[in-house]
Structure 1
Amino acid sequence: MAPRDAAPDRVPLSLETFQALRNLLHSHSGIALAPHKLTMVQSRLAKRLRILGLPDYEAYLQKVSDPDSDEWAEFINALTTNLTSFFREGHHFTRLVELLEAQGVPRQLRIWSAGCSTGEEPYTLAMTLAKAFGKATTIQILATDLDTAVLETAARGVYPLARIEGLSEDWKRFAFLRGTGAQQGQARVRPEIRSLVSFQQMNLRDASWPLEGGPFQAIFCRNVMIYFDKPTQRNLLRRYRALLQPGGLLFVGHSEALLDHSLGFHSLGQTIYRRKEEAP
């Protein structure tokens, strides 16, 4: 046990406690934290020790071992990674429009951004589809994430100007309002774009998902499955297939190529997949 007056960021995280925290995270969320992430876990949970006034990581482990603990959300939020940006892997958005247009202008679109982080991906979808199809198409984008903190940021739709610097002036005018006065240095997603997206907290590991409405034309689950073990990945892919309309599209991250062709998808290239119509 660490000295009582030790700063949390200097308190050692034992391998045994790290393994127990890894197991808890996996059992609750399905996220498989790599064995070499001990230093990262120690760094990220040090803030929680300070806030809670706990002496060491063993005390924190005891707290989150209670399934009814009010610390669970903070535990998950601290250990999930939320790297994202507007038009990340931009070819996906271009190809989405091309593939949808090939079937004629859709009257209605339902797209799911699974693992939406701070909202850049679903807002990019909203921007792209609104510009491509305009008012001729009813657009509904569901954006979900396990992390409640990033969902709060996403729902606000307000970002530092630095986050949109890489966008063209046309996109900036189309989708954002520049802050003035107290909001100077920030950009807000325009209400007409914001209204196309609904945000919802969801654990992809849950046995049932609270999804309403018809099937999706496309599901974006990019750079999410890399954090799950193989059985969880396969289960997710089967469930995604069931939620896609015939011929529906699945977009995954550049490092998440689907090598198991028995899961009901065939590749269109560039980590884009179309639902096969024969049962997997």
Structure 2
Amino acid sequence: MIPITDKEFKDLADFIHRNYGIHLKEEKKTIVMGRLYQVLQQLNFDNFTDYLRYVLADPTEKAASVLVEKITTNHTFFMREAEHFQFLQHKVLPYLSQTIRDRDLRVWSAGCSSGEEPYTLAMILDEFFGLQKGSWDTKVLATDISHRVLEAAAKGTYATEALASLPPQWKHRYFKNNGDGTSDVVDKIKREVIFRRFNLMETSFPFKRKFHVIFCRNVMIYFDQKTKTELVRRFYQHMEPGGYLFIGQSETIDREAVPYRYIMPAVYRKEQ
């Protein structure tokens, strides 16, 4: 293990917080050393000062991308916090389908990780709209900061056992079993998800139109309160009146700072 000094950890933590919003607490020092050990070895660095200089000097930002991938946990699974998907299907979509006049439903999976969440959203939308779907634009925007997880998500290949929590009809309708312990998301659903790399710390979101639904679940656990509040404000600004924000069950937002209305655990609404 390559040791990290207090100053090196502070410099590294400051860089990560400034660029990615992630708040590394002092007790994470050992985890950081463990997760970055192989990276430093491969680059022939024997200290974190030289490694951070290398990251800062890389104009391609690939080194920074590897750094943030190593210190974050891209853990997710199909139907995680399933009550959110049920609420979307049975409450939110019936409302939106009656109120969106131009039939352009805009859904964003922010911090989509390896794709299970946006693909689940696409399957719900396909099932809900059924034969009416052809007259709607229901594509899901799925963003993450990690190149690695986005590449995996776009392939849409998952261990067949990972589909166990999905409804049986979805497994047959929306996946192709490869016979080798893996299954692929069918092209019909893949085409409904647009994967893009995006840093949620961008102070200006580049979206031309506002969203009706934003899922940003189990992402803000890495942020301090100030960063969370600023991000939720941007979500609010880029959401249509009547839209819904879904966050992780272990997360909270400061409702005095942002006027979302609490609907149910981890679900908030922008009032008309």
Q: Is the 8 A contact 1:18 1:38 kept in 2?
A: yes
Q: Give the secondary structure class of the aligned counterpart of 2:268.
A: strand
Q: Give the secondary structure class of the aligned counterpart of 2:57.
A: coil
User: For residues 150-161 of structure 1, what are the structure 2 equivalents within 5 Å?
Assistant: 150-161=149-160
Alpha-carbon separation, structure 2, partners of 1:104 and 1:159: 31
* Corresponding residue to 2:48 among 57, 67, 71: 57
Q: Is the 8 A contact 1:202 1:209 kept in 2?
A: no
Considering only aligned residues, what root-mean-square deviation do their CA atoms show, in Å? 1.7
Alpha-carbon separation, structure 2, partners of 1:235 and 1:18: 25
Alpha-carbon separation, structure 1, partners of 2:196 and 2:226: 25
Identify if the C-alpha distance between structure 1 residues 135 and 195 changes in structure 2 by more than 3 Å, giving closer, same or farther.
farther
Q: How many residues align?
A: 264
Q: Give the secondary structure class of the aligned counterpart of 1:187.
A: strand
1:90 aligns with 2:90: no
Q: Is the 8 A contact 2:255 2:261 kept in 1?
A: no
AA of the residue aligned to 1:42? M
Of 199-208 and 252-261, deviating more is 252-261
Partner of 2:163 in structure 1? 164
Q: Give the secondary structure class of the aligned counterpart of 2:214.
A: strand
Partner of 1:15 in structure 2? 6
Identify if the C-alpha distance between structure 1 residues 174 and 270 changes in structure 2 by more than 3 Å, giving closer, same or farther.
farther
Partner of 2:67 in structure 1? 75
Partner of 1:5 in structure 2? none
* Corresponding residue to 1:258 among 253, 259, 267: 253
Of 96-105 and 117-126, deviating more is 96-105
Q: CA deviation at 1:103?
A: 4.7
Q: Give the secondary structure class of the aligned counterpart of 1:118.
A: coil
AA of the residue aligned to 2:37? A
Alpha-carbon separation, structure 1, partners of 2:43 and 2:197: 24
AA of the residue aligned to 2:34? S
Alpha-carbon separation, structure 2, partners of 1:151 and 1:141: 14
Partner of 1:31 in structure 2? 22
Partner of 1:275 in structure 2? 270
Q: CA deviation at 1:210?
A: 2.8
Between the two proteins, what is the percent identity of the paired residues? 38
Q: Give the secondary structure class of the aligned counterpart of 2:74.
A: coil
Partner of 1:224 in structure 2? 219
Q: Give the secondary structure class of the aligned counterpart of 1:251.
A: strand
Q: Is the 8 A contact 1:119 1:157 kept in 2?
A: yes
Q: Is the 8 A contact 2:20 2:199 kept in 1?
A: yes
**Structure 1, gaps ≥5 residues long:** 1-9
Q: Is the 8 A contact 2:228 2:253 kept in 1?
A: no
Alpha-carbon separation, structure 1, partners of 2:124 and 2:147: 26
Q: CA deviation at 1:96?
A: 0.9
